[in-house]
Amino acid sequence: MTLATNKPAELGRVTPHLRKKLVQIEPQKIVQIAGMALADPDVITLHFGESDVPTAEFINKAAYDALQSGHTFYTHRRGIPELRDSLARHMTGLYGVPIDADRVTVTPSAMQALMLTMMGVLEEDDNIVVVGPIWPNAVAAVPFAGGVPRVVNLRSGNNGWSLDLDELFDTCNERTRGIFLNSPGNPTGWTVTREQQQSILEFARANGLWIIADEIYTRIVYDRPVAPSFLEICEPEDPVIVLGSFSKSWAMTGWRLGWMTTPPSLGGFLENLIEYSSSGTATFVQYAGVTAVEDGEPFVASMVERCRVGREIVGRHLAALPRVSYQEPNAAFYAFFKIDGMDDSLEFAKELVRTAKVSVAPGSAFGPAGEGWLRLCFARSADSLEVAMERLSKALS
């Protein structure tokens, strides 16, 4: 390699190299809406996937007490033993199968858990088959790790959203390293069935593929206590990685606290990945997580009920709009609805911010199959949702 040897004053301006796959990633469209909405205090914000409920005081106090007790130092890379033990007991109780703490790794957000997973399983130009429409960060994580996403979209019909397993399996090829699915799903609320989980697990076992399951909405479900989980049917050393988060059920979006449940044999490998990326999760935040898990069931129940009421409000208003096609979800806290005649959901969402003073996420943010749709979060107070839906009803009439 020959380098320029001119004196600084004589040098031209040369652009340093940036990785092509990263440069080609589009700006996140929901963030574009957020920028507009947050600049206008009159806008009711329904674009992000979070409740308007602040984190409960008993969780906040646990973090404060941990700080006062001096829990401010480096700690275990995979998480403090107290939190890993609590999460293992929590999942064992939820799913009725024994889950040991050596399968649990704590991360600073579920998003970081996803990034670590992609870094761990992908070589350059390998691919992950992704079930869409899906949260855009999940798809973007694949090229960040050097891979290629291959999206298989759910189908929308009279009975809601459905997954064609034949299409899913046929999309896998010799460079496929895993199947990623989010269930309950963002933005659709779709939930994979137990029979489908069993088929996907058998396919993964037979073909040496990872199942990467984002199950962060597993508690936000309206027709049963908990959504079906791959943890209920897999063996400890099966090729299954399940992602969890404190953000939704415990209203801790800003805390950036998540975890992953993996085969125990991945423990040392994950410890190395964490050491060379984040070096671990904030210690006092983890102690707050212990309290959330151990004492937070009443709070989770209240969050589900809040979402149930929000779902009813949104559904009642949308049902009265002739331009809107919408089916009520059985899980998660989003209304994903189609607008007749809308062909640019990003511009349409921007216009709603400007004129209706309500911010929603454009369907195109969730992939090409989402164009023509909008997503709003109904994990909000009943009063704010009533106002927001009255404004949207006028705009969409």
Contacts of 345 (CB under 8 A, 6+ apart): 339, 362, 363, 364, 365, 370, 371, 372, 373, 374
Q: What is the pLDDT of residue 2?
A: 59
- Whether the bond between 239 and the residue before it is cis, its omega within 30 degrees of 0, is no
What average pLDDT score do residues 47-51 get?
A: 96
Phi/psi of residue 222, nearest 5 degrees: -115, -10
pLDDT tier for residue 52 given thresholds of 50, 70 and 90? very high
Phi/psi of residue 366, nearest 5 degrees: -100, 15
- Domain co-membership, 287 together with 366: no
- Domain co-membership, 146 together with 22: no
Establish if 16 belongs to a structural domain.
yes
15-19, 174-178, 232-236, 322-326, range with the lowest pLDDT: 15-19
pLDDT tier for residue 253 given thresholds of 50, 70 and 90? very high
Structure tokens at 373: 């749709």
Burial class (CB in 10 A: 0-12, 13-18, 19+), 279: exposed
Closest C-alpha to 49, from 254, 224, 282: 254
- Domain co-membership, 50 together with 116: no
Whole-model pTM: value is 0.94
Give the residue carrying structure tokens 């969050």: 303
Contact 214, 110 (CB under 8 A): yes
Q: Which domain holds residue 242?
A: 72-296
CA distance 150 to 148: 6
- Domain co-membership, 19 together with 39: yes
- Domain co-membership, 259 together with 314: no
- Domain co-membership, 352 together with 257: no
Establish if 61 belongs to a structural domain.
no
CA distance 25 to 266: 29
Q: What is the pLDDT of residue 9?
A: 56
Note the pLDDT tens digit of each residue in 60-108. 999 999 999 999 999 999 999 999 999 999 999 999 999 999 999 999 9
How many Cβ atoms sit within 10 Å of the Cβ of residue 147?
24
Note the pLDDT tens digit of each residue in 206-224. 999 999 999 999 999 999 9
Structure tokens at 141: 């994580």
Assess whether pLDDT exceeds 60 at residue 147.
yes
- Domain co-membership, 88 together with 216: yes
Q: Please, which residues bridge with residue 242 across strands?
A: 213, 261
Q: What is the pLDDT of residue 17?
A: 87
Q: In whole angstroms, how far apart are CA 124 and each of 8, 28, 112, 135?
A: 36, 23, 19, 23
Contact 301, 377 (CB under 8 A): no
- Domain co-membership, 187 together with 253: yes
pLDDT tier for residue 3 given thresholds of 50, 70 and 90? low
What average pLDDT score do residues 338-343 get?
A: 95
User: What percent of the chain lies above the pLDDT cut of 90?
Assistant: 92
pLDDT tier for residue 8 given thresholds of 50, 70 and 90? low
Q: What value does the mean pLDDT of the chain take? A: 95
* Run of H or E residues at 213: strand 210-214
CA distance 101 to 85: 5
Amino acid identity, position 108? P
Which of helix, strand or coil describes residue 320?
coil
Phi/psi of residue 45, nearest 5 degrees: -95, 115
Structure tokens at 130: 């992704």
Q: In whole angstroms, how far apart are CA 100 and each of 42, 237, 279?
A: 48, 12, 23
5-9, 182-186, 305-309, range with the lowest pLDDT: 5-9
Q: What is the pLDDT of residue 104?
A: 98
- Domain co-membership, 278 together with 312: no
Please state the domain count of the chain.
2
Give the residue carrying structure tokens 């929590």: 90
Last residue of one domain, picked from the residues 232, 263, 296: 296
Last residue of one domain, picked from the residues 296, 323, 340: 296
Closest C-alpha to 103, from 120, 84, 121, 131: 84
Q: What is the pLDDT of residue 185?
A: 97
Note the pLDDT tens digit of each residue in 258-294. 999 999 999 999 999 999 999 999 999 999 999 999 9
